[in-house]
Structure 1
């Protein structure tokens, strides 16, 4: 009996349907791979859009902070591809990342005062108001920024903060004067701020449109002073740090001892209360030294939801100095593990900071 002939199907990549190309592009876990994918031919560029890249697991950025730093190389690590990306930002002082931008202070060696938000991937800048001083300004993440990709920053003073918000549609900045706070979230067109004083067990609520101070909220627990407020699609969450630490993000003796409790605001504003959660489902929460935000695991292949990813510092030998630590707390298993990080992340000092960074091409 004669053997059957096998039919070989040849895939002509250049002739793939645009819808199929779009599906393939959405599976690319590293934004650099997406850029390379679009660079192959006009057909791929026509089927995809820079303004609509695949959802990305955040990178981690290591940025020098002190003046007089001679190294202008800033490094980003992708956990998806396990690649390090480097960018040169000449004559710039980085204050910290805010979504896909970094707030830079250009020309500090020549005593110039020029601040802008830089996207190192697209190499685009947005300048901040001239009235914002060079010193004592901190970028933050608000829930809406993850959708609109709008930078925000806080100018701190002795008795209050000035919150600056960018309105790209109107090509202008707005500002709001608020009391000193530890953490802030934007949810349901309102700002939720924890009061700066340790003894003040409350959350200040401010209406975005009018600036009116609404009735205060109680904190989830008395120990919430060093916690985070995070706006999500599932509501406003409060995350409290537990474990053998002094205060996050300072010295952590053992990353496996670090745990978290998560609360959700219920029935606001009629009968407001905080409900402790046993899990956060498909959500992934990301915490660093200044900010907290959320993403959905289902939007990013290969990563587990119901987890809290965090950056802190730790050392088993405190006298030897502290090092950057990246950990993951699994709410289902109630366990914490250390995530391998690149060797260059290194020792933490006042001049060396690490934070989550959301890569974007916009």
Structure 2
């Protein structure tokens, strides 16, 4: 074909874009030139199913691999961040397309790697671990127009360990900060309906804090079993789910076992209890590392199976010198029959689930 590719008819570009099938193919299509990026609008996008996003060590420092759960294929894209910056990210979806860039630079920011949109966050410098990043959990809207709620934990190492909880809202740029003393070692925090839930793992109980005041509520929720300690809190379509990802060995066979509990509570949380679920319906859970996870519904995202949990399993390999190396693999757990299926046998330790967006 002779002439300028950027001068292709706009209607023809729309027809082509609708035949591309996957979000990653469309991203590469829009990257050909500025005119194609303008003509192919986000309304042309196929379903934005989660990617497993990871740096590609075999290529340049801004090249990444994306694994699609719908097609079970891996493709390559370029992002405006290098591998070192990516390694310092801790994000939790549904994030409406944003990653939390938490480098050692003085400023942290939310970055949409596909549009290069940045939202700077006035957090103090330090290590921040994401508890929640997404839309207002009290709103029915799942769009960025309602603003992003970001709740992070900042570790402070003093004589008595203290957690600083910081809560930021993009629509008013307000930060609320309060502290939670830890008397019994590591804790798992979760954010749900304006409340912070903190499970002290050694005591196997969950305390509740009011996010507006930082005050501890007169509520203590015992863990559902002597041997079950929560590894994830996930806000899931109006419910709070606690996920137990236990690791056990039976002879030479070692594996993970998954349990899911739902918090049953009164309107003001005066009474709360955990109920084990035998299934999660049309919901799908995605478990990241760093005790992070998120939930999607097959009614909103067609093309993948409900009642399943996608997670990253740590794999240790030993060489001839008995030295260990580690990587992860992607597994899908079917809650209906308790079976699991391997989807990808080798991913980088820094791999993370990510819901792409061009909005």
Output the TM-score relative to the length of structure 1. Answer: 0.72
Answer 1 or 2: higher relative contact order, Cα 8 Å, separation at least 6. Answer: 1
List aligned pairs for 1:114-263, cutoff 5 A.
Answer: 114-129=107-122, 131-133=124-126, 136-142=127-133, 144=135, 147=142, 148-158=147-157, 159-180=161-182, 182-195=187-200, 198-214=201-217, 215-244=219-248, 257-263=255-261
List aligned pairs for 1:280-359, cutoff 5 A.
Answer: 280-290=280-290, 291-315=292-316, 317=318, 319=322, 320-340=324-344, 345-346=347-348, 348=349, 353-359=350-356
Whether the 8 Å CA contact 1:140–1:152 is kept in 2: the answer is yes
Deviation, 1:140, is: 3.5
Whether the 8 Å CA contact 1:143–1:187 is kept in 2: the answer is no
- Structure 1 unaligned spans of 5+: 1-12, 65-69, 246-252
Counterpart check, 1:101 vs 2:98: yes
Deviation, 1:335, is: 0.8
Distance 1:121 1:263, change over 3 A: same
Deviation, 1:88, is: 4.2
Distance 1:97 1:60, change over 3 A: farther
Question: What is residue 7 of structure 2 aligned with on the other side?
Answer: none
More strand as a share of residues:
2
Larger Rg: 1
Distance 1:254 1:75, change over 3 A: farther
- SS of the aligned residue for 2:177 comes to strand
Whether the 8 Å CA contact 2:132–2:149 is kept in 1: the answer is no
Deviation, 1:260, is: 0.6
Distance 1:340 1:254, change over 3 A: farther
- SS of the aligned residue for 1:321 comes to strand
1:267 to 248, 265, 268: 265
List aligned pairs for 1:9-48, cutoff 5 A.
Answer: 14=11, 29-30=22-23, 33=26, 36=29, 45=41
Whether the 8 Å CA contact 1:143–1:185 is kept in 2: the answer is no
Structure 1 consecutive aligned stretches of length 4 or more whose deviation exceeds 6 Å:
41-44
Whether the 8 Å CA contact 2:230–2:243 is kept in 1: the answer is no
Give distance in 2, aligned partners of 1:254 and 1:297.
Answer: 33
Whether the 8 Å CA contact 1:62–1:74 is kept in 2: the answer is no
Question: What is residue 60 of structure 1 aligned with on the other side?
Answer: 52
Deviation, 1:144, is: 4.1
Deviation, 1:36, is: 4.6
- SS of the aligned residue for 2:79 comes to strand
Deviation, 1:34, is: 7.0
Question: What is residue 66 of structure 2 aligned with on the other side?
Answer: 77
Whether the 8 Å CA contact 1:96–1:139 is kept in 2: the answer is no
Q: Deviations over 1:338-362 (max 9, x none)?
A: 1125x6x35x4xxxx2221221224
Output the TM-score relative to the length of structure 2. Answer: 0.73
Q: Relative to structure 2, which stretch is displaced further, 296-305 or 267-276?
A: 267-276
Q: Give RMSD over aligned pairs.
A: 3.8
Q: Deviations over 1:103-162 (max 9, x none)?
A: 3356x6xxx6333222211112222325232xx322333564683544443211132222
Counterpart check, 1:89 vs 2:90: no
Give distance in 1, aligned partners of 2:253 and 2:63.
Answer: 28
Deviation, 1:60, is: 1.4
- Structure 2 unaligned spans of 5+: 1-9
Q: Relative to structure 2, which stretch is displaced further, 165-174 or 330-339?
A: 165-174
